[in-house]
């Protein structure tokens, strides 16, 4: 059954509109099984599962006031990013809001101001669209609840926020849930859907709830290929169908591993996935090599350290050169000493971000 959130009744009595604002803090996430390839209206070609981060987040305040005159079909939006106007981002957000007017018709009755701040540097290898789009989706659902009282139930609220976030950026739909979230239909995941993510923290051993994720910054330059362009590469990819089947299969393998707290198998699956994502990009037309020499050196050092010490540490990668190093809290002292001594010297000016599995979004 597909969800249809269009609702022509969500219109305000113009004379009663007061000005106000809503603020959400929403985190980014790191995919363990990657979403890479989409179709239709932001629907994934395969299921994915991710760790919700804690320290890497977007703080978004959406302010509103009555819009004078007859509302045109376009949304009225002013945007500030990190305290400055940011025309390209404003354009993307406006376009996105314009696509939502059948779901939230009241948006056309308002003058909107969006103030958004990221806790992490731009292009640090952290998916900023995931935190930004989920924060915005949560603000929109809060407005709906405040104006009409239609999203009282927490589960319904988060499901709709996840659905809306997905329309803004696929991976964003996973950011609305704490610790671990899964998106995309999968036979072993009850209630899973291509249209929204579901919470999955309860499926994981407690040791994954305190997972550490240290991000080693190899390069802070902008990505050579945007995620959207990357997904398009999959449309004509010679390995596409095998890849989609593999992602489902790996998700099926990962679920018992998460449940049992089996960090060794976890590392194997997560590294296979990260390298598969890059292999797919290398084998695309056009082809992209997004790792840097330092990325490969870091991978070699992590694997060597694991082999010598037996500590359960592994890495993941997004569509860029920076490494996400994952390990249990219990191993943080030796792993972080190793990262400091052997890995940070290979990073861009020793840059890293210390993150961990997080508690999900919060209304501020």
Which residues lie near ligand DP6 (CB under 6 A)? 31, 34-36, 42, 48, 127, 129, 169-171, 227-228, 231, 277, 318-319
Whole-number minimum distance, CB 202 to ligand DP6, in Å? Answer: 21
Cα 331 from Cα 339, distance rounded (Å): 12
If the CB atoms of residues 56 and 331 are measured against ligand DP6, the closer one turns out to be: 56
- Beta carbons of 47 and 37 less than 8 angstroms apart: no
Q: Residue 225's closest CA among 286, 167, 275, 169? A: 286
Cα 120 from Cα 317, distance rounded (Å): 17
Q: Residue 135's closest CA among 15, 6, 23? A: 23
Whole-number minimum distance, CB 171 to ligand DP6, in Å? Answer: 3
Whole-number minimum distance, CB 319 to ligand DP6, in Å? Answer: 4
Cα 117 from Cα 112, distance rounded (Å): 16
Residue 120 — left, alpha, or beta (φ > 0 → left; ψ -120 to 50 → alpha)?
A: beta
If the CB atoms of residues 227 and 294 are measured against ligand DP6, the closer one turns out to be: 227
If the CB atoms of residues 76 and 316 are measured against ligand DP6, the closer one turns out to be: 316
Whole-number minimum distance, CB 139 to ligand DP6, in Å? Answer: 18
Q: Residue 328's closest CA among 176, 204, 197? A: 204
If the CB atoms of residues 99 and 228 are measured against ligand DP6, the closer one turns out to be: 228
If the CB atoms of residues 189 and 335 are measured against ligand DP6, the closer one turns out to be: 189
Burial of 35 (0-12, 13-18, 19+ CB in 10 A): buried
Cα 61 from Cα 136, distance rounded (Å): 8
If the CB atoms of residues 37 and 71 are measured against ligand DP6, the closer one turns out to be: 37
If the CB atoms of residues 228 and 260 are measured against ligand DP6, the closer one turns out to be: 228
If the CB atoms of residues 169 and 332 are measured against ligand DP6, the closer one turns out to be: 169
Tell me the CA distances in angstroms from 39 to 49, 228, 303, 346, one per residue in order. 18, 11, 36, 38
Torsion of CA 173, 178, 180, 186, to 10 degrees: -50
**Cα angle value 212/218/220 (rounded, 5°):** 100
Tell me the CA distances in angstroms from 267 to 254, 261, 274, 289, 324, one per residue in order. 10, 11, 11, 23, 12
- Element (H or E) spanning 160, and its range? helix 154-168
Whole-number minimum distance, CB 64 to ligand DP6, in Å? Answer: 25
- Beta carbons of 26 and 361 less than 8 angstroms apart: yes
Whole-number minimum distance, CB 314 to ligand DP6, in Å? Answer: 17
Whole-number minimum distance, CB 129 to ligand DP6, in Å? Answer: 5
If the CB atoms of residues 10 and 31 are measured against ligand DP6, the closer one turns out to be: 31
Q: Residue 292's closest CA among 362, 192, 223, 201? A: 223
Whole-number minimum distance, CB 227 to ligand DP6, in Å? Answer: 3
Whole-number minimum distance, CB 32 to ligand DP6, in Å? Answer: 9
If the CB atoms of residues 42 and 332 are measured against ligand DP6, the closer one turns out to be: 42
Whole-number minimum distance, CB 322 to ligand DP6, in Å? Answer: 12
- Beta carbons of 151 and 115 less than 8 angstroms apart: no
């Amino acid at each position: 059954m597909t969800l249809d959130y269009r609702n022509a009744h969500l219109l305000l009595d113009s004379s009663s509109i007061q000005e106000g604002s809503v603020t959400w803090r929403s985190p980014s996430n790191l995919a363990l099984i990657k979403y890479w390839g989409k179709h239709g209206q932001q629907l994934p070609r395969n299921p994915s599962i991710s760790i919700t981060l804690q320290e890497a987040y977007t703080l978004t305040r959406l302010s509103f006031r009555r819009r004078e005159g007859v509302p045109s079909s376009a949304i009225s939006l002013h945007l500030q990013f990190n305290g400055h106007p940011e025309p390209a981002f404003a354009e993307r957000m406006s376009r996105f809001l314009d696509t939502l007017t059948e779901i939230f018709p009241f948006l056309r009755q308002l003058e909107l101001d969006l103030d958004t701040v990221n806790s992490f540097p731009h292009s640090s290898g952290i998916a900023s669209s995931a935190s930004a789009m989920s924060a915005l989706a949560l603000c929109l659902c809060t407005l709906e609840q405040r104006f009409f009282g239609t999203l009282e139930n927490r589960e319904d609220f988060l499901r709709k926020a996840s659905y809306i976030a997905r329309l803004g950026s696929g991976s964003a739909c996973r950011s609305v849930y704490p610790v671990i979230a899964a998106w995309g239909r999968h036979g072993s995941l009850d209630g899973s859907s291509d249209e929204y993510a579901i919470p999955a923290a309860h499926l994981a051993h407690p040791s994954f709830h305190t997972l550490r994720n240290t991000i080693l910054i190899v390069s802070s330059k902008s990505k050579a290929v945007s995620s959207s362009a990357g997904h398009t590469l999959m449309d004509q990819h010679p390995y596409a169908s095998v890849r989609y089947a593999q992602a489902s299969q790996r998700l099926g393998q990962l679920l018992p591993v998460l449940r049992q707290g089996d960090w060794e198998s976890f590392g194997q699956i997560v590294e296979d996935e990260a390298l598969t994502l890059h292999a797919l990009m290398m084998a695309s037309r056009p082809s992209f090599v997004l790792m840097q020499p330092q990325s490969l050196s870091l991978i070699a050092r992590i694997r060597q350290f694991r082999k010598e010490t037996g500590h359960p540490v592994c890495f993941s990668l997004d569509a860029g050169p920076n490494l996400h190093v994952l390990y249990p809290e219990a191993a943080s002292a030796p792993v972080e000493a190793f990262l400091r001594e052997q890995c940070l010297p290979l990073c861009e000016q020793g840059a890293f971000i210390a993150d961990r599995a997080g508690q999900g979004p919060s209304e501020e």
